[in-house]
């Protein structure tokens, strides 16, 4: 076991594994590679800014400090980190890959896996919260803050554990035949494990929302209000976005686990499938927050406040006029959320 960890700092190992699984194809450069990379980095910047806007909105407005919005804030934070991790992954790919040691490579890929897993677990946490809300189960008592912290903490601990398994030893440094073609230092068995975990999460989300649908659509239900019916539409969009974004990546990983080395050439285009999966991090804030009128108003307040501060800053430089801060917790009378 000690000899395996010694290889973690041997940069030649990375090239050896890429030559075995890809024939050194990662080193190719030029417009055919950097143009898609530029587009993906631009998408990641959009994801970061979009989720940062959600976080600022949730933090500023006291009305959004309820359980549902705090879970949405956690989802936005995980998606923000996923955008940053995937951006770093793209910038450190290509010929730069061969300058990395195995431990650096594991950190590069592990952070992307961990943050994307945290985003998926956050979706599950939101599904649980929605089920609790629609069934009116009072699990949030006086210690509801403690319960929410435990649930959110569990999301991050499990996601971090999944992402760190390869660096802790579940890799193929000592067995080239077990190596993935998409991620040449990862074991195929590890990828199958990740697919299984994500599939179980998807089934759990479908099961929870299916139960919500049955409760709301029940002829004896007294909660089939306009708000709960709007929730069904939101749920349909969420499940559709999750499946559409992640299914191609799942299929690629399944093919990777079953295909022999250099047999399935579609695996060498896997970056595009993972980039498509990252779109889920951009879709989540839109689906979970822009369907809320209150959240839309807060977005506009945050954006207009930033524009006003820039104008005041420029005018104070010219005329020395005093600056006035925007309110940090605007009060609105109605609460018309549909999430």
DSSP state of 171: B
Alpha carbon separation from 155 to 116, 118, 123, 306, 321 (Å, rounded): 11, 6, 10, 32, 48
The reported pTM is 0.81
pLDDT tens-place string over residues 87-143: 998 888 888 888 999 999 999 999 988 988 888 888 888 888 778 777 765 444 445
Q: Are 50 and 282 in contact (CB under 8 A)?
A: yes
Residues 6 or more apart in contact with residue 120 via CB below 8 angstroms: 198, 201, 246
Q: Tell me if residue 281 falls in helix, strand or coil.
A: helix
Count Cβ neighbours within 10 Å for each residue of 35-68 and write b for 16 or more, e otherwise. Answer: eebeebbebbeebbebbbbbbbbbebbebbebbb
Instruction: Render pLDDT for 200-251 as a digit per residue (tens, 0 to 9).
Output: 988 998 888 888 878 777 755 555 566 666 666 776 787 788 889 888 988 9
With tokens 């910047």, the residue in question is 45
Return the residue matching tokens 């601990």: 157
**End-to-end C-alpha distance for the chain, whole angstroms:** 50
């Amino acid at each position: 076991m000690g000899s395996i960890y010694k290889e973690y700092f041997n940069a030649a190992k990375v090239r050896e594994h890429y030559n075995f699984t890809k024939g050194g194809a990662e080193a190719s450069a030029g417009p055919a590679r950097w143009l898609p990379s530029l587009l993906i980095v631009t998408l990641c910047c959009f994801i970061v800014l979009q989720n940062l806007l959600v976080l600022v909105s949730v933090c500023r407005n006291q009305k959004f400090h309820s359980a549902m919005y705090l879970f949405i804030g956690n989802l936005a934070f995980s998606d923000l980190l996923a955008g940053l991790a995937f951006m770093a992954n793209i910038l450190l790919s290509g010929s730069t890959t061969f300058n990395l040691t195995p431990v650096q490579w594991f950190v590069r890929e592990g952070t992307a896996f961990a943050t994307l897993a945290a985003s998926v677990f956050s979706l599950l946490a939101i599904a649980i919260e929605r089920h609790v809300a629609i069934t009116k189960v009072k699990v949030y008592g006086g210690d509801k803050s403690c319960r929410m912290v435990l649930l959110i903490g569990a999301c991050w601990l499990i996601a971090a554990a999944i992402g760190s398994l390869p660096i802790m030893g579940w890799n193929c440094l000592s067995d080239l035949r077990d190596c993935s073609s998409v991620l040449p230092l990862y074991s195929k068995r590890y990828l199958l494990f990740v697919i299984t975990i994500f599939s179980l999460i998807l089934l759990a989300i479908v099961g929870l929302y299916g139960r919500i649908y049955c409760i709301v659509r029940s002829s004896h239900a007294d909660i089939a209000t306009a708000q709960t019916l709007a929730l069904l539409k939101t749920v349909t969009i969420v499940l559709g976005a999750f499946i559409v974004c992640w299914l191609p990546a799942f299929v690629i990983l399944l093919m990777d686990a079953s295909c022999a080395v250099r047999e399935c050439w579609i695996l060498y285009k896997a970056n595009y499938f993972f980039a498509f999966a990252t779109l889920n991090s951009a879709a989540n804030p839109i689906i979970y927050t822009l369907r809320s009128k209150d959240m839309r108003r807060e977005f506009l307040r945050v954006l207009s406040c930033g524009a006003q501060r820039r104008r005041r800053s420029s005018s104070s430089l010219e005329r020395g006029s005093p600056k006035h801060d925007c309110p940090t917790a605007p009060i609105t009378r109605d609460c018309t959320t549909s999430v």
